[in-house]
Structure 1
């Protein structure tokens, strides 16, 4: 849907529509949960406040690549990218995660991930 909407109204416009819809849905959910701990937002680390920008990059990547590469290729590349980002985040212990080494099984999994992505895309 993201690719089709982007082709009709443009990438930034479709991103705005999607995120506005997400804002409304999130607000309804937040109100139904009595605000949870929203007042604590000021205590979040600065980088957590940038998550919306990451969502924007992901959405624009999807809406741009699906019409050009097809849904399977685009989504496969996005999943591979996210899994690799997770491996790097775990390895570095970034964002408060526990650092995890690159043992043999994890490296084998990464190799299989690349092999699987190649087979799906080719």
Structure 2
């Protein structure tokens, strides 16, 4: 199962790259980046609703449970909207390779910090020399790609 999850993580990268191009073309077609983002999220919502209808076995949480969820735990959708809208705005100008290099660098830096401090419910994994070296190598790779 572990290797299957590794494959899925790789496929996330592939689909993110494809998504950037598709959404950029949608922006050109609609002439509106915000509308393009809305269309992207609506199609995603429809897909999730189909998955929910087909595969969900757990009962729906009560309204009281939903109301008791801390405000910051609802920010995932806002983060996704920021991602999609920003990509739609910038991918055509900086290109998918530059975009993804910077996204991956940001994800790695954020991931190491989140691991180190155990933010948002993650287990603590302290920063060490290997992680710092990994960040340095990624940043070097980003610099090489951006320089081209």
Q: CA deviation at 1:81?
A: 1.1
Residue of structure 2 in register with 1:16 after alignment: 38
Residue of structure 1 in register with 2:124 after alignment: 99
Relative to structure 1, the CA distance from residue 61 to residue 33 in structure 2 (aligned partners, 3 Å threshold; closer, same or farther) is: same
8 Å contact from structure 1 (residues 5, 14) kept in 2: yes
In the alignment, the residues of structure 1 paired with residue 40 and residue 57 of structure 2 have an alpha-carbon distance, to the nearest angstrom, of 22
Relative to structure 1, the CA distance from residue 100 to residue 13 in structure 2 (aligned partners, 3 Å threshold; closer, same or farther) is: same
- Number of matched pairs: 122
SS in 2 for 1:7: helix
Residue of structure 2 in register with 1:81 after alignment: 106
* C-alpha RMSD over aligned residues: 1.7
**1:13-34, Cα deviation, whole Å (9 max, x unpaired):** 0110010001110001001123
SS in 2 for 1:39: coil
Residue of structure 1 in register with 2:4 after alignment: none
In the alignment, the residues of structure 1 paired with residue 57 and residue 74 of structure 2 have an alpha-carbon distance, to the nearest angstrom, of 18
Q: CA deviation at 1:35?
A: 5.2
In the alignment, the residues of structure 1 paired with residue 112 and residue 102 of structure 2 have an alpha-carbon distance, to the nearest angstrom, of 15
In the alignment, the residues of structure 1 paired with residue 109 and residue 23 of structure 2 have an alpha-carbon distance, to the nearest angstrom, of 23
8 Å contact from structure 2 (residues 115, 124) kept in 1: yes
In the alignment, the residues of structure 2 paired with residue 34 and residue 105 of structure 1 have an alpha-carbon distance, to the nearest angstrom, of 40
In the alignment, the residues of structure 1 paired with residue 53 and residue 138 of structure 2 have an alpha-carbon distance, to the nearest angstrom, of 40
Residue of structure 2 in register with 1:36 after alignment: 58
In the alignment, the residues of structure 2 paired with residue 38 and residue 90 of structure 1 have an alpha-carbon distance, to the nearest angstrom, of 31
What 5-or-longer segments of structure 2 have no aligned partner?
1-21
